[in-house]
Amino acid sequence: MGRPGKSRAAHPGRRNLRPSVGTEAGAEIRTRTHPRRTARTAEDADRFLDELVRHGATAVLCFADREASLLVGAARRRGLGVPGDLSVVGYDDEVADLCEVPLTTVSPAKTDIDRRAADMIRNRIADPTSPRRQEAFVPHLVVRDSTGPAAH
């Protein structure tokens, strides 16, 4: 979840974000980011919800499940339906199922990452001169109750 600020499309390496996302005809995708902070609060969620409502947003992808949960709470306090008025997606799948409306979330391949990291550490210890490697892991979407078609 973030406060309105710089568009992610303005950052190097993010320029291709928008074209790669499929949307219905006439749909608009806006991305927002905020300075990193260690704590996000219900007040932050309320301010961000103000911005979402002002722009007529019907869906939001939050940085993490905690921020998504705060946003769901802010929406429900205002009488907005989740998912009817606003679909909310989190990331990390740590506490998504504990939210007052169970969150749809992007779940990283943590077990695979842990195994590969351990293998890479063992290999590096066995041969410190071996080349460094980068590996990509594909997360998966866990669909729960916080997403659905827009009510309007």
Helix (H) or strand (E) holding 120: helix 110-126
What pLDDT was estimated at residue 12?
A: 33
Looking at residue 133, what is its pLDDT? 86
According to the model, what pLDDT value does residue 26 have?
A: 56
Sign of CA dihedral 76, 83, 111, 123: negative
Cα separation values, 111 from 26, 41, 55, 116, 117, Å = 39, 30, 38, 9, 10
The Cα 117–Cα 7 span in angstroms is: 33
Cis peptide before 83 (omega within 30 of 0): yes
Q: Is the pTM of this model over 0.95?
A: no
Domains plus CATH for the chain?
Answer: 8-108 (3.40.50.2300)
pLDDT at 63: 86
C-alpha 145/C-alpha 22 separation (Å) is 22
Beta bridge partners of 89: 61, 104
How far is the CA of 147 from the CAs of 4, 18, 86, 142, 143, in angstroms?
Answer: 22, 20, 8, 11, 8
Residues of the chain with pLDDT under 70: 1-39, 152
Give the pLDDT score at 68. Answer: 94
